Each structure stands twice: as structure tokens, then as C-alpha cells.
Structure 1
Amino acid sequence: MITVSAVLFQRADARVLTVRKRGTEMFMLPGGKPESGEGAADCARREVLEELGIELKPIDIEPFGEFDAPAANEAGFTVHADVFRASASVAAAIEPVASAEIVEVRWVLPRDGISDAREAPLNRDIVFPMLLARAHLLD
């Protein structure tokens, strides 16, 4: 089991920010592994700052859910992810800059990401379907 924290940034046009780390092929939500004694939300905020240069205040994110999925880049492992959702105003204002181990950033529509083999299983199987279901309920 690999424990991670991640942040879901979704713009008004429904696109979600996903990132690809150096030496990998799959895109995932920005985030990473906690340091010793670090809480999930603090980890998510630290990782986003390190990876994308985006400074988030505690009030900028809220819990989206805890999920288990096959690890994207470590065969045979499961990832346990604490996912936090950034506020709409924050998602609209960010300009992510790939830093640290991030080599590529992209904004993807959940309906397209579900069938994109380059998206991590957490996104394809859980996060994107949840976003689409919630959007459908709002229609």
C-alpha cells in the first residue's frame, strides 16, 4: 500500500489538472507521499507547492474523498489516496508551472480522461466518474 495525498483542481470548463512525473507515462492528480508526521492536507498543499509552484492555504481545499486504486507507476501496488478539492476560485486562477519531478501538466475533461490509458487508474476509475456523476446530478 502506497499512501499519497492529492489535489483536484477543476476549472469552470470542467477540465481537471493532471501531471506526469519524470520517468513515468501516466498522468495523475498533483500530490505525493507524506513526510513523517505530516497530515494528509498538509502533504497535499506542500506537494502542490513543490511540484507546481502553487501555494494553497488550508481554506483553499476541502476533502473530496479517500480512495484505493492500483498504483499508476508501481506495478503490483495499491495507492491509498486522500484527495482534496481546490475551490473553484483557486482552480480558475492558478497557472501551474512544472517543477521538481513534474515534466508535463495538462487539463483534461473527465469524459475524455476515463478512456485515456495515460491517466492513472485513480482518475479513470474513481475521480473522473465521480465528477461526471456529480455534474449529471446538477443538470
Structure 2
Amino acid sequence: MDQAVLDVVAWVRADQGRMLTVRSRGRDLLYLPGGKREPGEDDWTALSREVREELGVELEPGSFRELGVVHAPAHDQPAFASVRMACFTADYDGEFAATGEVDEFLYVGRAERDLLAPASQAALDLAGRSGLVP
């Protein structure tokens, strides 16, 4: 039996050549802010909700744009063989605070690639191709 693909949305936020990541409670690797869509949610609604829940900031709708889609092996998700992650950029209002299931947030560069889950590594590469992370 083929395992399902985990379909998620993620926020790619770069600052000074480093990409924002989060560590969820109980996870060993870093992920991008974001997550699964709830029934009926479009990408913008899901991403805005997830970022608000994880980091306590509001994304600005007028700045929302798709960066690309990455595919990678699923990490720490036994029911899924792979991840399809739609990556978006957006400006934000507010100050970051680790909330909900997020224990910490930090910016990482290419030198910290091994700290990232596979889909987040692919997103780091995408951010590099897009000129966000050198």
C-alpha cells in the first residue's frame, strides 16, 4: 500500500541572509512556520492561521506571494512517505513569540542545513535560488 503525501503550506521568511525556522514540541529537527490546511481553507487562510498560532504575528495579505513548491521525504510523520510543501513569502506585523506547539524560533543559514527537516532543507535551497538566502 502506498503511503500518502502530506500536503502543507509554509512561510519562507529571510532576514540578513538567514531563514526563519521553528522547533515544534517534541521534534528533533527544525521546520518552517506553517502546516496543514483545515477543510475549506485556501493557502493564504491556512498559512495566516498557522503563522499566527505558531509565532503570534499577522501576515500582510498584500505582500503574499508564492515562492514555489518543494517535495521531500517526510520526517517524523509515520503515516506519510513524502511532503509536498507550497512555500510563500509575506511581510508581517507584530513581534515573534513561540506559541502553541512551538518551543522556539531561530534563523538559520546554509551552514546549519543539517538542523533542518528534509522539506525545510529543500525550502532553504528554494530560498537560495530565489536570492533570499545566499
How high is the TM-score relative to the length of structure 2?
A: 0.84
Cα distance in 1, alignment partners of residues 104 and 123 from structure 2: 20
* Secondary structure in structure 2 of the residue aligned to 1:66: strand
- Deviation for aligned residue 1:77: 2.1
Q: What's the counterpart of residue 113 of structure 1?
A: 112
Q: 1:3 aligns with which of 7, 11, 29?
A: 7
> Distance between the aligned counterparts of 2:40 and 2:86, measured in 1?
15
Instruction: Confirm or deny that 1:81 pairs with 2:80.
Output: no
Asked whether the 8 Å contact 2:58–2:94 carries over to 1, the reply is no
RMSD: 2.1
Structural mapping, 1:119-130, within 5 Å: 119-124=116-121, 126-130=122-126
Residue matched to 1:39: 42
Alignment of 1:21-40 (within 5 A): 21-40=24-43
SS in 2 for 1:37: coil
| Structure 1 gap ranges (5+) | none
Please identify which structure carries the higher helix content: 1
Query: Matched residue pairs, number?
Result: 128
Q: Is the 8 A contact 1:28 1:120 kept in 2?
A: yes
Moved over 6 A (4+): none
% same residue: 34
Task: Tell me the TM-score normalized by structure 1.
Answer: 0.82
